[in-house]
Amino acid sequence: MNYLTRRLLTFPLVMFGVSVLVFVAIRLVPGDAITAMLGTEAGLLTPEQKAALASYFGLDQSWFTQYARWIAGVLSGDLGLSVTYGKPVLDVILDRFPLTLQLALMAMVIALGTGLPLGVFAATRNGKAADLGVRVLAMIGQSTPSFVVGLLLIYFLSVGFGVLPAMGQFVPLWQDPLTNLGQMILPAITLGFAFTASVTRISRSAMLDVLSDDYVRTARAKGAPARRVIWRHALPNALIPVVTLSGVEFGYLLGGAVLVEQIYALPGLGRLVLEAILQRDYALVQGTVLFIAFNFLLVNLLVDLAYVALDPRIRLGGN
């Protein structure tokens, strides 16, 4: 079996494992599900009403049957009903997802747009003061949690410049792009901060590896201009680890959005997970966690495919 087939086959397998884990986790919540679903209102129910509700939701059946029903629903796009929103879970998720996706994509553009040039710059000045400066900055950037970055940004902007980040009602991109970007730019910088640092470090070290390769020396020896050697010969090969990192990191951006959306009060998917947990809306927790994990896995799969496209050796190799 070649790499591609194996990779495509593990995707549904891992996704199955994820669904089982999420399903079991929610059922391990102490107390019965009806009380968990209705909160204090459950206290008003008679035992008969509780039993009726349990049988309505299929909770009196075995876990196996419940799982089979749930997964059949999930596969047909039915993630259940959110108690807090009184809407299908999928609708709630799809309402919130565009914001988080936009946030993660913007963070990624910022990180690659600044990290890659910085890394290449540092690599071409290996060992000099500029290189050291970039490395120190990257190390500090990687060690600063997003919520510290976010709070400091808000503080310095509001105290130093009297500018408050545009909070208030969130405006989707397609309604008013300018207002939207104004609202999203600070959160995106916050989310992308640590990622920028890791892109800088990875692209620097990948670039250093490649620059010492024979073919780069050959290109130099035949008189190719330095700029061409760096951008045309060296960079494409140095990109492979950056692509891998971006894929893994994209999932973390989706997860990290929990904190950033919380700081900037953005109604995205991350904040939805948090609300669902605090409100004990388990159908919603189950649905959002599954949704995010699915996207994370999907992105990783796409990255691996991109990897194959970038490096033909993998297509044939055993690993």
Partner 1 sequence: MSLVRALLRHPSGRIGGCIILLFLLAALLGQLGLTPHDPLKQMRLDRLKPPSLTYVMGTDLFGRDVASRVMLAIGQSFIVGFLAVGIAATLGTVLGLTAAWFGRLWDGVVMRSMDVLLAFPAILLALLIIAVAGPGTWTSVTAIAIVYTPIFTRVVRGPALSIKTREFVDAARTFGSSRRYILTRHLMLNLVAPLTVQVTLALAWSLLTEAGLSFLGLGTQPPAASLGLMLADARNLMEMAPWLLIFPGLTIMIGILGFNLTGDALRDILDPKTRRAMA
Between residues 4 and 298, which has the closer beta carbon with respect to partner 1? 298
- The angle formed by the CA atoms of residues 293, 85 and 295, to the nearest 5 degrees, is 15
Between residues 16 and 215, which has the closer beta carbon with respect to partner 1? 16
Minimum CB separation from partner 1 for residue 236, in Å?
Answer: 21
Minimum CB separation from partner 1 for residue 150, in Å?
Answer: 10
Minimum CB separation from partner 1 for residue 76, in Å?
Answer: 22
Minimum CB separation from partner 1 for residue 21, in Å?
Answer: 6
Q: How far apart are CA 158 and CA 185, in angstroms?
A: 15
For residue 9, what is the DSSP state? H
Minimum CB separation from partner 1 for residue 319, in Å?
Answer: 11
- Give the amino acid at 91: D
Other CB atoms within 10 Å distance of the CB of residue 135: 17
Q: Which two tokens stand for residue 303?
A: 């990255």
H/E element, 81: strand 81-82
- The angle formed by the CA atoms of residues 25, 87 and 278, to the nearest 5 degrees, is 45
Q: Is 171 exposed, middle or buried (0-12, 13-18, 19+ CB in 10 A)?
A: middle
Instruction: Tell which residue, 310, 312, 304, 311, has the closest CA to residue 5.
Output: 304
Query: Interface residues with partner 1 (CB under 8 A)?
Result: 10, 13-15, 17-18, 21-22, 25-26, 28-30, 139-140, 142-148, 151-152, 154-155, 158-159, 208, 251-252, 254-256, 258-259, 262-263, 273-274, 276-278, 282, 285, 289, 292-293, 296-297
